[in-house]
Chain A
Amino acid sequence: MTQTTQPPIMGHTLRRVVFFLLVLLTTLVAMGLMVSVFQTDGLSPMELILLLLYAILFSWICISFWTAFMGFFICLTGHDHWAISRHPGTPPDPAAPPPRTAILMPIYNEDSERVFAGLRAIHQSLADTGQLAGFDFFVLSDTRDPEVWVEEELRWQNMVRALDGKGRIFYRNRPENTSRKSGNLEDFCTRWGSQYRYMIVLDADSIMKGETLVEMVRIMERQPRVALLQTPPVPINRESLFARILQFAGSLYNRMFTAGLNYWQLGETNYWGHNAIIRIQPFLDHCGLPKLPGREPFGGDILSHDFVEAALLRRAGWEVWLAYDLEGSYEEIPPTLIDYAKRDRRWCQGNLQHLRLALSHGFNALSRLHFSMGVMSYLASPLWLLFLIATGVEAYFQTQHEPVYFFGENWAPVWPVSFAVEMTTVLLVTLTMLFLPKGLALLLLLKDSRLRRDYGGMLKATLSVVLETVFSVLTAPVLMLFQTKFVLAILMRRAVGWPPQQRGDHMTSFREAAQTHGVQTLIGVVAGVLSYQYVPAFFWWFIPVLLGLVLAIPVSMLSSSIALGRQSRELGLFLTPEETEQPVVLRYLEENLEEDEPVLPVLREKPASRFVQALTDPYVNALHLSLLPEREPPGKRRRHYLEGLVHQLEEEGPDSLSAAQKRDLIADPETLQRLHALFWSRPPVNAGMLP
């Protein structure tokens, strides 16, 4: 199902020409200023390195700046001829059967209570639209932890009962999580995909309004050339100061930034992996992912599959759009700086893999740019670090250079040429490009009184932007060092060794902060002392970076504070529209999380172990058994292995088994039934639930 190639649309081409010309011209002007500073006495190798680094980093900033600027322009005028949601398209064939859409939630060892509370909220919101009949829900579990696995099954059954969702709300757990999330989705597509025209892919913490889901399907029906429609998820629901600052920034700036992305990306945008609708047939035809040759980190499974899937769809002639003006698409973000860095660690490897894909045969230019931008979002950090070090070293050599005022026969002194104006201009241009978008986003509030109120009013919104800017200046060097470490570790094929990500709000302890940021603080102190000692002039310029590093521990701890997050909310700081006026779907989520009378009695109590409950409780045991996939009976070696585990459990108890071993025991139907009988025939001591 390949699409015929359409001739380029003049309006699209014009937008891209304007955008890239602006990026190119701005970069050239800034480079010109830099060259004029360096070239007086010829370019030294160090200056050449500095120029090269500056060119890469500045063009990266330029893309971001002009994207924001175009977004500002579109939001200000309110006109966007090419917004996919406003394009009339072709009316769907009335004779065609109504579309069926599968809402997919791939999960992996997540907090089941939150997952199902969220999915229920989406279901409730969709029911409010009266369009529920066109949608089915799939919880696609790749969970390996047996405790979470059993909990998920009970929560699923509870949701089915509570919402009368039999035959509409489905659950399955994959026996093997081959190829991780992309394999999980592929498994859905190859088993049940052909029963649906569309799938809406969510993340474990995604929330979407029912109206938004219905609108996404409506757009896809009108635009038969579109294979994928991405909505911009707005960060919500966190209470820590760190997360509230990020939520505010994400909400205020992304409104403008996504409009800017659509300005130049149009039907060749990217896929962000969730909160998107996908036409299933082209996905089946073109998005089967190969394993990349070679070893990790660059070989093996494709980790950031979303970029590649979007590129494959575009390669086959399909359009991929960002519906930036569709509201009601939400996600949750990491609650602390350390959790944020952990998430970066996971994403970093996948994005670096794109180094090879960017130059692969067959992808179009914009796909290559997306791959390169993915790489740059992590590679920019080591490049900035290198740039800072090179600047410091160059500044040091400059201080060692004695100025000569009299040359040869000249009686008059030759004063050294000052480039302070040029250097200040370069610096000011760079800072403007970094910070002006924040001001532009703020300006947009002047246009819309309702939005202004939702962000707490102009004064508080301005104060929030100022404080957010200070916070981002303080955390930027910390993230720079984190990302540099991740990139280097991945390039050297070393595991960085992060514990699993915690999604819920929680405070960072001094111990955790000191362990994580100790080295960063030390680097800040050493760099400060060295620069003050040897290049005092550079030291003062360097202070924002040094301050961020030296204060990393207190900033990380304080920003994780939920109390400070709540106080800032009471003061009207960092407010987002979702906090000011809670959307109904988020209220449903809150109510579902507070529910203390689940339909299933077994969920009303929290036992010490759901794994043990699956062996002892007749209902939990029967439900788990009924959800196991049909497969061949185990071979002789496998039987011996399971037999050994059964004996270990009988003698030493469940604590002696690893999570993987427990999973093996309850994944085999025969062993599960046998253990159920054994537990009832010889109940363990202190087993409260057994007679």
Chain B
Amino acid sequence: MEHYLPPLPPAPSSEFVLARLGGYWQALGVTDPAQVAALSEQALRRVAESPESPGLDAVARALVAAGELLDDWLARTLELPRPSRELAAARAALLSGAAPDWPAALFAPPGEADALLDALRAAIAEPTPPPSPGAMPAQRIDLFWLLGPLHRLWHPELRA
């Protein structure tokens, strides 16, 4: 039976990996081939430096590294903890189209992309307000029970 996700060749060529990475960067919004090439190279370097991940093939590891590159940049420029929900929300904001020129900002010197970062900060979703826990104790409901009076006779402490 044919697999839904077709298996990779046992040793995928570097061209194959780069093509997949390139496609992924484009889906993220990086269209400049030079930027795609530079980012892919960085992602591959990162894969080489990181330990093997169980359950992930070489291409998938490169794709994870690409995402991590993006998260690194977001965490650094927006001063967000990582890993965190805020960082995931920032990535979602970035990919939502709220900051269309972000690939240029990625390669711009620090301080030159402030307007874009402000737009990005504004677009980061806040799904819930900060928690302020409160208690809601379960109330006691003494249900009617046909044998209740007998039960109370048997257990005098319940009569109080």
Q: Could you tell me the distance in whole angstroms from the C-beta of B11 to the nearest C-beta in chain A?
A: 14
Specify which chain B residues have a CB less than 8 angstroms from the CB of A663 in the assembled complex: none
A166 to B144, CA, bound (A): 49
Q: Which residue of B lies closest to A623 (CB)?
A: B92
Surface stretch bound by B, among A185-193, A240-248, A436-444, A539-547: A185-193
A86 lies within 8 A of chain B by Cβ? no
Q: Which residues of chain B in 102-129 are interfacial with respect to chain A, using CB atoms and an 8 Å cutoff? A: 122-123, 125-129
User: Which residue of A292, A619, A654, A691 is within 8 Å of B143 (Cβ)?
Assistant: A292
Let me know if A679 is at the binding interface, CB within 8 A. yes
Judged by a CB distance under 8 angstroms, whether B57 is at the interface is: yes
Please judge, given known A-B contacts A286-B139, A288-B137, A290-B138, whether A680 and B23 are in contact too, CB under 8 Å. Answer: yes
**B95 with A622: CB separation less than 8 A:** yes
* Interface members, chain A 648-691 (any B CB < 8 Å): 649-654, 673-674, 676-685, 690-691
Contact of B127 among A172, A287, A646, A683 (CB under 8 A): A172
Residues of A close to B61: CB separation below 8 A:
677
Task: List CB contacts (< 8 Å) of B1-60 with chain A.
Answer: 1-8, 20, 23-24, 26-28, 55-57, 59-60
A674/B136 in contact, CB under 8 A: no
- Report yes or no: A619 in contact with B4, Cβ–Cβ below 8 A: no
- A300 interfacial contact with B, CB 8 Å: no
Does B159 sit at the interface, judged by CB under 8 A? no
- A607 to chain B: closest CB distance in Å? 15
A312 at the interface (CB under 8 A from B): yes
**Contact of B20 with A625 in the complex, beta carbons under 8 Å:** no
Q: When chains A and B are docked, how far (Å) is the Cα of A253 from the Cα of B86?
A: 52
A288 touches B143 (CB 8 A): no
Q: Is the CB of A287 within 8 A of B136?
A: yes
Sample 30 A-B pairs with CB under 8 A, ordered by A number.
Answer: A157-B125, A171-B127, A171-B128, A190-B133, A193-B136, A285-B137, A286-B139, A287-B139, A290-B138, A290-B139, A293-B143, A308-B141, A361-B144, A362-B141, A618-B28, A618-B95, A625-B88, A626-B86, A630-B85, A649-B4, A649-B5, A650-B4, A650-B5, A674-B60, A679-B5, A680-B23, A681-B20, A681-B62, A682-B5, A682-B60
Measured CB to CB, the residues of A under 8 A from B are 136, 156-157, 160-161, 166-167, 170-172, 186, 189-195, 283-290, 292-293, 308, 312, 356-362, 600-601, 617-619, 622-623, 625-628, 630, 643, 646, 649-654, 673-674, 676-685, 690-691
A-B pairs with lowest CB-CB distance, top 6: A359-B144, A691-B23, A653-B4, A681-B59, A626-B88, A626-B89
Given contacts A191-B134, A356-B143, 14 further A-B contacts (CB under 8 A): A136-B129, A156-B127, A170-B126, A195-B129, A284-B136, A293-B143, A622-B88, A626-B91, A627-B125, A630-B85, A646-B55, A649-B4, A680-B20, A681-B20
